[in-house]
Amino acid sequence: MSKIPLGRTAQAALRSSANSWLEQDPDASTRADLEALLARLGDLNEPGVTIADDDASDRAAAWRELRDRFATRLTFGTAGLRGRQEAGPNRMNRVVVAQAARGFADYLLGRAGTARPSVIIGYDARHNSEVYAHDTAELMQAAGVNATILPRALPTPVLAFAVRHLKASAGVMVTASHNPKWDNGYKVYLGDDDQGSQIVPPADAEIAAAIEAVATTKRVDELPRETAYATADESVVDAYIAATASVLTGDVTPLKVVYTPLHGVGWETFAKVLERAGVEAPIVVEPQLTPDGDFPTVDFPNPEEAGALDLAYEVATEVGADLIIAHDPDADRLAVAVPTAEGWHRFGGNDIGKLLGWRAALASPGEGTLATSLVSSPAMSKVAERYGLDYLETQTGFKWISRAPGIIYGYEEALGYLVNPETVRDKDGISASMAILELAMAQARLGKTLLDLDDEFAETFGAFESRQVAIRYDDPTALPAAMAKLRATPPTAVGEVPVTSFVDLATEPIPAEILRIELADRTRIMVRPSGTEPKIKSYIDATSDEGTLAERQATAAARADATAIGMQQLLT
């Protein structure tokens, strides 16, 4: 988004939009927030006068804030709508949710023909998630869509499961997953031929157009509402629990496991899945056990972030645990750690991803597809080749991975794994936990750990090392500028290693906003802007299949580290 100059005309338009917003906003807290912002604006500029970018006054800051909130709208990204919870169309709030709900309803009615469509609605424990979910149910029911809301705050995978289990036309999950505590989001799924997967083009653009039509032609406070929507009973949750418990197919072997849901909604459901599978309950990280939208013990509720698992490490060290399992707040992601002589080792998403891919290949040799995203490690291609399976690299996001033809397993490096595509067409941290427990228990019976299995993978397929470099921008407009600079002047080397290939995937038949850089030492770099955060991310994958196990691992790690330093220098 280019920034409109803050002159008198633009100021008048922004203030008018804000006042119109106040008139229809049903939320007292966001109204008060916006009124406080408007009070800081002062008078409009004199004709011909524009607020300078370097004006550090509070009045200038207020105008810039108003512009950021009202000059554009939240758009569907990798995971639907997601943003900070404040007033304005470029934020998450009850007005935006109402417009999204009615727009989505209009879209479903338009594609349903004479049949009355249906929607399943779920929500997590973030601030306002339940409010947004009930707003959605009331508005969609009144619009002509049979709305059913899940009985309480539950993990995202339960909602994804319910869309297929209940044969619904669509699903909505209110969650911001692993985002900061001030965010919330709105994930949209389609049933029927889409089999409960998240939306992809052209549906996303069509839904966005329907939402825009509501936003520009209707007032939220005048949209009809109907409270006679349905609430799902416990049978749908029980069905998810039964299906997920069956993922663990090996013998149950005692392990001392420490578990944290990072203040999210994963524990209740995960505990019931473990009980159903006959697995002893883990030792829990008590301060993080209860769902809490303030996430008081972590800066960011993302198990990938530094420090997020510190409490789990403390508990696990104290009790002498064999394994740590962590979910993000909506339990669609999984983090895994094991003890070493040097301390706790948390596996990267590619590490767990390749091991679970190996598990899937052993269970289904010669039949099906292993799928992963373009920015995930190419390690799984070696697994597919050895076991006679198809291999597909998709665009980023499980909305693409889940649609791979013949999929038997899929993953992406951001701790997302799909191990049971016949029941859930989205990443699922709970079912993935059962699969990783199966592997850990099998290793324990041999007197080994998952680290030994990782070594066996390197001996069989080669050593693979992944790194990620993320550059965060305060100004989202800086992201396309940085990508444009790379395109205009492709690097000839990263660090001291020559570039052998530079491909702009935006020019491919199925375009993706990704730059692929390959180096002379076979290291691959994928550069892309984040779909959910103001970041440019570089995904680095290095490999080595020569020498002893130790030599392979050392070479791959050295290549990955050197490339990470080179990309940091290139992007800053």
Note the pLDDT tens digit of each residue in 212-256: 999 999 999 999 999 999 999 999 999 999 999 999 998 999 999
Contact predicate 101/139, CB 8 Å: yes
- Out of 181, 202, 232, a domain closes at 232
Average pLDDT over residues 356-376: 96
Q: Is the pLDDT of residue 263 over 70?
A: yes
Specify the CATH number for the domain of residue 552.
3.30.310
Q: What is the pLDDT at residue 531?
A: 66
Q: Are residues 404 and 305 in the same domain?
A: yes
* Structure confidence by residue, pLDDT tens digits, 488-507: 999 999 999 999 999 999 99
Residues 317 and 362 reside in one and the same domain: yes
- Domain shared by 274 and 197, yes or no: no
pLDDT band, residue 1 (cuts 50/70/90): very low
User: What integer pLDDT is reported at residue 473 of this predicted model?
Assistant: 83
Confidence band, pLDDT 50/70/90 cuts, at residue 572: confident
pLDDT, average across residues 128-141: 98
Q: Are residues 320 and 454 in the same domain?
A: yes
- Checking if the pLDDT of 78 tops 60, the result is no
Residues 196, 274 within the same domain: no
Q: Specify if 30 maps to a domain.
A: yes
- What pLDDT does residue 509 have? 85
Q: Identify the H or E element spanning 130.
A: helix 129-143
pLDDT band at 532 (very low <50, low <70, confident <90, very high): low
Residue 112 included in any domain: yes
Q: Is the pLDDT of residue 114 over 70?
A: no
Mean pLDDT over 168-194 rounds to: 95
Q: Which of 145, 237, 224 is nearest to 188 (CA)?
A: 145
Is the domain of 150 the same as that of 215? yes
Average pLDDT (171-184) is 95
| 513 and 476 belong to one structural domain | yes
Structure tokens, 463: 């050593």
What is the gyration radius of the CA atoms in the chain, in angstroms?
24
Judge whether 204 and 211 are in contact, CB under 8 Å.
no
Q: What residue numbers bound the domain in which 492 lies?
A: 463-571
CA 243 to chain centre: 23
The model carries a pTM of 0.94
At residue 474, the pLDDT reads 80
Going by pLDDT thresholds of 50, 70 and 90, the confidence category of residue 353 is very high
- Residues taking part in catalysis: 177
Q: Which of 38-42, 44-48, 107-111, 473-477 has the lowest mean pLDDT?
A: 473-477
The domain that contains 99 carries what CATH number? 3.40.120.10
Whether 33 and 129 share a structural domain: no
Mean pLDDT, to the nearest integer, of 262-282? Answer: 98
Parallel/antiparallel/unpaired status of strands 535-544 and 463-472: antiparallel
